[in-house]
Amino acid sequence: MGSLMAGCLLDAGIHLTVHDLRSSAAESLLERGASWADTPRQAVDGCGMVWASLPGPDQVVSALLGDETGALVGMANGAVLVDTTTDDPDVARRVAATCRQNGVAMLDAPVSGRPPNMTMMVGGDRSVFDQVFADLEKVAARVFYVGESGAGCAAKLATQYMGYTNLIAAIQGMLIGKAAGIDPAVLAEIVPVSAGASRAFNAIPNAILDGSYQAGGTLDIVAKDVALACALAARLNVPATTGSAADALYRAAQERGWGSDGYPVVARILEELAGQSLNES
C-alpha cells in the first residue's frame, strides 16, 4: 500500500525519499527517481511532509517514536506527518501528542481501497487537514475529515469491523445453503441481487469458490484490524459479540499458519466446522 501511494506522489511530480525494512519494496520507486534512506530518521531529513504506511501499532511506535533512528527525531519543526496506518486510536493520539511536543503536526489518515481511487479517513487538527488537503487528494479519491486525533483510526476500525464480520456471516450463509443442497455457484449469483448483497460477499465468488483465497489483504492484516476494532469496542463499552466470534475465527486461521495468505482463507475454518466445502475445484 505504501508503495502504491508513493507512486501516486511521484506521478504528481513530488520528489520522495523512501525507507522500508525490505529494500526490495522500494525498487520500483527508486527506478522512478525516488531516493533511498537507510533509516526512518534519514528518510525525513529536511522534509516538510512525511508519509507513513505501516502494518500496525507496534511498527508505528518503532518507526516513528523509536530511538535515534525514529522518524520523529529527524522531523523539522513545522513539518506534517500523515500516518496512513490502520492503528489503535490510542496509539495515534500518543503519536500526535509527541509530535506536538516536537513542533510537528500529525494526521492519522488510514485508507480503504487502492490508490488513487481509495477512501481516506482523517483525524487531527482541522487547520492542518485543510493545509495538506490537496496533497491527500493525490493518493485518495475520497478524503473525509472525521475529527480530532485518533478519529481517523476509529472510523477505519469501525468500517473494518463491518466488512470482515460481514464476510464471516456471508460464508456461514453460503455453507447453510450448501448443506441444504443449493449449488454454491447458483447461490453466489442470487446473493448480489438479494438481501445478502454486500461488498464483503464479493470475496466468495472471487476467491473462495475456486479455492484460491487470493485477495488484496492478508489474513494477518485483517485479523489485526478486527482485533483492534474489538478492543476499541471493549474500551467504549459497545457490544461486539459478532466481532468477538469473527476475531476467534481469524485467530484460528492464523494458528494454522495461514497469516500470509489472503484473508478469505478463513473460510477453511468455517468449512471444517460445518463439514461442508464451498471449493468447487
Q: Using pLDDT thresholds of 50, 70 and 90, give the confidence band for residue 67.
A: confident
The per-residue pLDDT for range 74-130, each reduced to its tens digit, is: 999 999 999 999 999 999 999 999 999 999 999 999 999 999 999 999 999 999 999
When pLDDT is averaged across residues 44-70 and rounded to a whole number, the result is: 92
The per-residue pLDDT for range 228-259, each reduced to its tens digit, is: 999 999 999 999 999 999 999 999 999 999 99
pLDDT at 68: 77
Q: Using pLDDT thresholds of 50, 70 and 90, give the confidence band for residue 280.
A: confident
The per-residue pLDDT for range 170-187, each reduced to its tens digit, is: 999 999 999 999 999 999
Catalytic residue among 138, 156, 178, 224: 156
Question: If you average pLDDT over every residue of the chain, what do you get?
Answer: 96
pLDDT at 69: 79
Dihedral Cα 210, 216, 219, 222, nearest 10 deg: -130
When pLDDT is averaged across residues 194-213 and rounded to a whole number, the result is: 96
Q: What domains are defined for the chain?
A: 2-149 (3.40.50.720), 155-274 (1.10.1040.10)
Whether residue 70 has pLDDT greater than 90:
no
* 3-class SS letters over 121-144: EEECCHHHHHHHHHHHCCCEEEEE
pLDDT at 256: 98
171 and 204 Cβ atoms separated by less than 8 Å: yes
The answer to whether residue 156 is catalytic is yes
pLDDT at 83: 98
Whether residue 281 has pLDDT greater than 80:
no
Listing DSSP states for 75-136 in one string gives PPTT-EEEE-----HHHHHHHHHHHHHTT-EEEE--EES-TTSEEEEEES-HHHHHHHHHHH
